[in-house]
């Protein structure tokens, strides 16, 4: 056990901190601290330009192997990158689905040709991705997808028809990865394929869905014989579930670290606010802030522990994926804490029409945390059955 960063890592810290201090200025000053959770719809163009700035400095996809354009950065360096990025107020990353989901999935399961075609655009901050999993009848029961993929011999293309829903940032994306049924007679997780689609084509229609925040980060996406090439399926027809689940594994890996740094910024905002308006003198508020702080430390230490391999010391298997349940519950409580610190001000919109302050957006947006990416109830089922081996529930 050695819980500190090495001198080389501290050198790396200085490198990224200096780079950010030099580059996150001028035209980018306006997007500092913007575009985080609850604020994703803001400044998309400026944030895309920022992705290219980052890429030019070699600061996108730093955890990818060098062979694929990354830096092969160690876990420690990735942690440091996220710390410094959040400290500097780096804007919410438009490229994160590509960098943390599409990229690792293609590196693990894709063909050489797919890697050559798709990785450079992600790395350069020029091509953006969205995730086409959920459908009207496939939420928690994701394996119930109905979207169909048919291989058209004449054009040698896959034709995709059906509907996805809740697709975050589809309206800002160049590509979508889609799970669709390749075997029309199949049910459940068999007979699925994992496809890489261009969003810019006549067969795809994107319709924003207005959220309770009054803004639109997610969308309905309709596919009417949308097409992709014969080579745009990852793995073989029938492998879709395996690839889709592999991708969810990356979702809970290193990408969680960046999120914790944003959480830290939010907690700091709350502490500042409590000092400003006197809530810091209320012993109940003080205790809840202490709780929030401890919860964040717990997540931080656990990520570091998981990422350092946590050998045979009796832990739950990482497959149990307990992180989602923990952070979503913590973050939802943080939103409530923010409102309670604000007191009567909490209710009053920042400006008409329905403009919310940062903490108000945090409160409303964090209501979604316990739903997306697997609801808390579904997570508990998985933990009980897979990690604790409790008797299985009959499934219909």
Partner 1 sequence: MDFNFTQDQLLFRDSARDFLRGEITPERVRALWESGHDESLWGQLTELGLVGITVPEEHGGLGMSEVDFVLLAEECGYVALPAPLVHTALVAAPALVDIGGELAASWLPRIAGGEARVAVGTGPAQPLLVEDADRAQLILLERAGALHALDPADLTLRRNDSMDGSRRLFTVEGADEGADEGAAVADAPAIAAALNRGGLGCAAQALGLAQRMLDLAVAYTAERKQFGKPVGSFQAVKHHMANVAVKLEYARAPVYRASWSLAKDHPDAARHVSHAKLAACEAAALAAKNCIQAHGAMGYTWEVDLHLYMKKAWALAGAWGDTGFHKQRISNALFEDDAPLGAGATF
Ligand X SMILES: Cc1cc2nc3c(=O)[nH]c(=O)nc-3n(C[C@H](O)[C@H](O)[C@H](O)COP(=O)(O)OP(=O)(O)OC[C@H]3O[C@@H](n4cnc5c(N)ncnc54)[C@H](O)[C@@H]3O)c2cc1C
Binding residues for partner 1 (CB under 8 A): 1-5, 9, 75-76, 79, 82-84, 86-87, 260-262, 264-265, 268, 271-272, 274-275, 280, 286-287, 289-291, 293-294, 296-302, 304-305, 308-313, 315-316, 320, 322, 325-326, 377, 379-381, 383-385, 387-394
Which of 44, 235, 249, 373 touches ligand X by CB under 6 A? 373
Q: Which residues contact 331 (CB under 8 A, 6 or more apart)?
A: 263, 366, 369
- Tell me which stretch binds ligand X (CB under 6 A): 161-169, 188-196, 261-269, 310-318: 161-169
- Of these partners, ligand X, partner 1, none, which one is at the site of residue 5 (CB under 5 to 8 Å by kind)? partner 1
DSSP annotation of 27: G
Q: Whose Cβ is closer to partner 1: residue 87's or residue 190's?
A: 87
Q: Which of 251, 266, 319, 345 is catalytic?
A: 251
Q: Among all residues, whose Cβ is closest to ligand X?
A: 139
332 within 8 A of 366, measured Cβ to Cβ: yes
**222 is a contact residue toward ligand X (CB under 6 A):** no
- Exactly one of 372, 382, 383, 385 binds ligand X (CB under 6 A); which one? 372
Query: What 3-state DSSP class applies to 193?
Result: strand
The one-character DSSP state at 286 is H
Q: Which stretch binds ligand X (CB under 6 A): 31-39, 160-168, 261-269, 353-361?
A: 160-168
Q: Which two tokens stand for residue 231?
A: 């080579």
Answer with the entry of partner 1, ligand X, none that 234 interacts with (C-beta below 5 to 8 A by kind): none
Q: Which residue among 124, 206, 307, 371 contacts ligand X (CB under 6 A)?
A: 371
| CA pair distance 105, 243, nearest whole angstrom | 7
Shortest Cβ 144–ligand X spacing (Å): 10
Residue 363 Cβ, how far from partner 1 at the closest point, in Å? 21
Q: How far is CA 279 from the centre of its chain?
A: 33
338 touches ligand X by CB under 6 A: no
Active site residue 393: no
Distance CA 223, CA 147 (A): 8
79's contact among ligand X, partner 1, none, with CB below 5 to 8 A by partner kind, is partner 1
**Residue 354 DSSP label:** T
The nearest distance, CB 383 to ligand X, in angstroms, is 12
Distance, in Å, from the CA atom of 235 to the CA atom of 324, rounded to the nearest integer, reads 27
Please tell me whether residue 356 binds ligand X under the rule CB under 6 A: no
Cα three-residue angle 196-198-201, rounded to 5 degrees: 140
Q: Output the CA–CA distances (angstroms, integers) from residue 281 to 267, 278, 289, 290, in the order listed.
A: 17, 6, 12, 13
Q: What DSSP state is assigned to residue 171?
A: G
CA-nearest of 225, 170, 236, 179 to 199 is: 170
Q: Are strands 157-168 and 129-132 parallel, antiparallel or unpaired?
A: unpaired
Q: Which does 207 bind (CB under 5 to 8 A by kind): partner 1, ligand X, none?
A: none
**Does 368 help bind ligand X (rule: CB under 6 A)?**
yes
Binders of ligand X among residues 268 to 297 (CB under 6 A) are none
Catalytic positions? 251
């Amino acid at each position: 056990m050695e819980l500190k960063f090495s001198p080389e890592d501290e050198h790396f810290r200085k490198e990224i901190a200096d780079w950010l201090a030099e580059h996150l200025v001028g035209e980018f000053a306006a997007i500092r601290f913007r575009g985080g959770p609850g604020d994703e719809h803001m400044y998309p163009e400026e944030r895309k330009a920022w992705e290219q700035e980052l890429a030019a400095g070699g600061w996108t996809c730093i955890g990818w192997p060098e062979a694929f354009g990354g830096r092969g950065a160690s876990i420690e360096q990735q942690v440091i990158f996220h710390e410094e990025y959040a400290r500097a107020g780096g804007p919410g990353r438009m490229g994160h689905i590509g960098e943390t989901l599409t990229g690792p999935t293609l590196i693990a399961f894709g063909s050489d040709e797919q890697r050559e075609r798709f990785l450079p655009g992600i790395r350069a901050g020029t091509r953006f991705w969205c995730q086409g999993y959920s459908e009207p009848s496939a939420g928690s029961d994701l394996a119930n997808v109905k979207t169909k993929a048919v291989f058209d011999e004449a054009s040698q293309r896959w034709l995709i028809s059906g509907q996805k829903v809740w697709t975050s940032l589809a309206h800002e994306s160049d590509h979508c990865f889609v799970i669709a049924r390749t075997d029309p007679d199949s049910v459940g997780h068999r007979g699925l394929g994992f496809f890489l689609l261009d969003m810019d084509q006549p067969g795809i229609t994107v319709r924003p869905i207005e959220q309770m925040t009054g803004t639109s980060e997610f969308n309905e996406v309709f596919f009417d014989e949308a097409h992709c090439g014969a080579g745009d399926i990852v793995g073989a027809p029938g492998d879709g579930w395996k690839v889709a689940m592999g991708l969810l594994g990356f979702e809970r890996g290193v990408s969680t670290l960046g999120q914790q740094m944003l959480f830290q910024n939010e907690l700091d905002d709350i502490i500042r606010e409590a000092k400003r308006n006197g809530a810091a003198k209320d012993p109940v508020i003080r205790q809840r802030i202490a709780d929030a702080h401890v919860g964040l430390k717990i997540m931080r230490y656990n990520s570091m522990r998981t990422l350092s391999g946590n050998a045979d010391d009796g832990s739950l298997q990482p497959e149990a994926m307990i992180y989602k349940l923990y952070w979503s519950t913590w973050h939802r409580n943080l939103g409530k804490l923010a409102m309670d610190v604000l007191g009567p001000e909490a209710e009053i919109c920042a400006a008409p029409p329905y403009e919310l302050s940062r903490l108000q957006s945090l409160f409303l947006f964090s209501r979604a945390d316990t739903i997306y990416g697997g609801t808390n109830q579904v997570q508990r089922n998985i933990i009980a059955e897979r990690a604790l081996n409790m008797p299985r529930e009959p499934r219909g």
